[in-house]
């Protein structure tokens, strides 16, 4: 069985799908919006929320730092904007306390080693490695040094790069999440069968991080074997921000979680059964029972009784 212990939960084959509500940067630097998004996730019965942490000086390339950008706070440099989007130690503490008060897990994706050090202080249940960082050897090593469970996102990466990252991280404490890093992602590029490919290639649980518009394809990922589902969430898809359009609003998130639980129930165990609820219908509609099951090496072969 492919499983991963994540906080108090076990994720993997035969276990309920672990549903992650990705807050990301959809809080627009507002502690109040971040709290409200945590409430949205908890009300929808998600298992966890995910935050993001960056050190702007390390993550913003020098040629982009001075570029001017329209923001909700007016025109400012891209570096200044990135600073406005980061929460302080005290603000993180307040958000984590709010997660605890709503009985929902939290963890974070970190985009540089200093951010790992920052989040490590709060003792998260694990980390997500962003798709953009899959080839960052120094950062991968820092993640592994924490000894915590890791979720590796695989957008914009080749299979060879994924294999190299898994070799570096090891597969014992790892979940690999299929993703396509386009926001929003067209259906033709979701390539959901990669979930099956990853399952066949690696001996660890597989998840799906979706950036599409709508819910049906995320349900398909569950049917294909995704043990973890992550979708960005928002209060309103019309809000300012690059990730809002590819995010799920509160009512949609509630429906998604319920749909996932319904699909899990409907999948069954693959063993053909005549259910008690069918027996009255069988007695009413079946005209005769003249077929007998033979004893042969081929199970469930029916032939006419002589």
Alpha helices (H) in the chain, listed in sequence order: 31-43, 56-59, 62-65, 78-84, 89-101, 113-120, 137-146, 159-169, 194-201, 216-223, 250-267, 276-285
Write down the mean pLDDT value for the chain: 94
User: Closest Cα to residue 161, out of 125, 132, 122?
Assistant: 132
Torsion of CA 261, 264, 266, 270, to 10 degrees: -170
Backbone angles phi, psi at 59, to 5 degrees: -100, -20
Residue 300 reports pLDDT greater than 90: no
CATH of domain 3-267: 3.20.20.70
Whose tokens are 């995320």? That residue is 218
* Mean pLDDT score, 111-115: 98
Residue 114: is it exposed, middle or buried by C-beta count within 10 angstroms (0-12/13-18/19+)? Answer: middle
Cα(71)–Cα(81) distance, integer angstroms:
7
Beta strand 302-304 with 74-77 is unpaired
Q: Which letter does DSSP use for residue 88 in this model?
A: -
pLDDT at 82: 95
CA neighbours closer than 13 Å in the CB half-sphere of residue 259 = 17
Residue 80 reports pLDDT greater than 90: yes
Cα(51)–Cα(34) distance, integer angstroms:
9
Provide the token pair at 165: 């990252």
Q: Helix 194-201 vs helix 159-169: angle between axes, to the nearest 10 degrees?
A: 40
pLDDT at 292: 72
Residue 302 reports pLDDT greater than 50: no
* Segment 158-213, tens digit of pLDDT: 999 999 999 999 999 999 999 999 999 999 999 999 999 999 999 999 999 999 99
Report the predicted TM-score, pTM, of the whole model to 2 decimal places. 0.92
First-last CA distance in the chain: 45
Counted residue by residue, the chain has a size of 306
Residue 22 reports pLDDT greater than 80: yes
* Mean pLDDT score, 51-76: 94
CA 225 to chain centre: 13
Cα(210)–Cα(196) distance, integer angstroms:
16
Bridge partner residues of 293 (DSSP): 302
pLDDT at 305: 39
Return the minimum-mean-pLDDT range out of 51-65, 93-107, 123-137, 285-299: 285-299
Residue 85 reports pLDDT greater than 90: yes
Whose tokens are 């790992």? That residue is 116
Label residue 297 by pLDDT band (50, 70, 90): low
pLDDT at 208: 98
Question: What percent of the chain stands above pLDDT 70?
Answer: 96
* Segment 223-241, tens digit of pLDDT: 999 999 999 999 999 999 9
Cα(87)–Cα(29) distance, integer angstroms:
7
Establish whether the linkage from the previous residue to 195 is cis, with ω within 30° of 0.
no
User: Closest Cα to residue 223, out of 271, 270, 176?
Assistant: 270
Return the minimum-mean-pLDDT range out of 56-60, 100-104, 116-120, 220-224: 56-60
Helix/strand/coil for 265: helix
Q: Is the dihedral of CA 168, 174, 176, 181 positive or negative?
A: negative
Beta strand 74-77 with 68-71 is antiparallel
Bridge partner residues of 71 (DSSP): 74
pLDDT at 296: 54
* Segment 121-169, tens digit of pLDDT: 999 999 999 999 999 999 999 999 999 999 999 999 999 999 999 999 9
Residue 32 reports pLDDT greater than 80: yes
């Amino acid at each position: 069985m492919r499983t991963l212990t994540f906080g108090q939960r076990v994720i993997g084959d035969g276990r309920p799908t672990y549903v992650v509500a990705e807050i990301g940067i959809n809080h627009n630097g507002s502690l109040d919006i971040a709290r409200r998004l945590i409430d949205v996730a908890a009300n929808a019965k998600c298992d966890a929320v995910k935050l993001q942490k960056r050190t702007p000086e390390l993550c913003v390339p020098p040629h982009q730092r001075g570029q001017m950008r329209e923001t909700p706070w007016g025109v400012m440099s891209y570096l200044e904007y990135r600073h406005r989007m980061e929460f302080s130690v005290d603000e993180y503490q307040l958000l984590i306390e709010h997660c605890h008060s709503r009985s929902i897990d939290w963890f974070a994706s970190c985009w540089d080693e200093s951010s790992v050090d920052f989040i490590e202080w709060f003792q998260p249940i694990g980390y997500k490695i962003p798709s953009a960082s899959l080839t960052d050897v120094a950062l991968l090593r820092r993640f592994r040094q924490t000894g915590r469970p890791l979720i590796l996102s695989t957008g914009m990466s080749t299979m060879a790069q994924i294999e190299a990252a898994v070799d570096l991280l090891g597969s014992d404490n790892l979940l690999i999440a299929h993703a396509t890093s386009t926001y929003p992602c067209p259906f033709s590029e979701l390539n959901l069968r990669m979930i099956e490919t990853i399952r066949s290639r690696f001996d660890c649980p597989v998840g799906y991080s979706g950036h599409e518009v709508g819910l049906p394809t995320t349900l398909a990922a569950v049917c294909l074997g995704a043990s973890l589902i992550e979708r960005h969430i928002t209060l309103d898809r019309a809000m300012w921000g690059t990730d809002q359009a590819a995010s799920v609003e509160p009512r949609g998130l509630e429906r998604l979680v319920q749909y996932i639980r319904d699909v899990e129930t409907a999948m069954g165990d693959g063993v053909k059964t005549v259910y008690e609820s069918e027996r009255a219908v069988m007695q009413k509609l079946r005209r005769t029972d003249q077929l007998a099951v033979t004893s042969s090496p081929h199970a469930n072969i029916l032939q006419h009784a002589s």
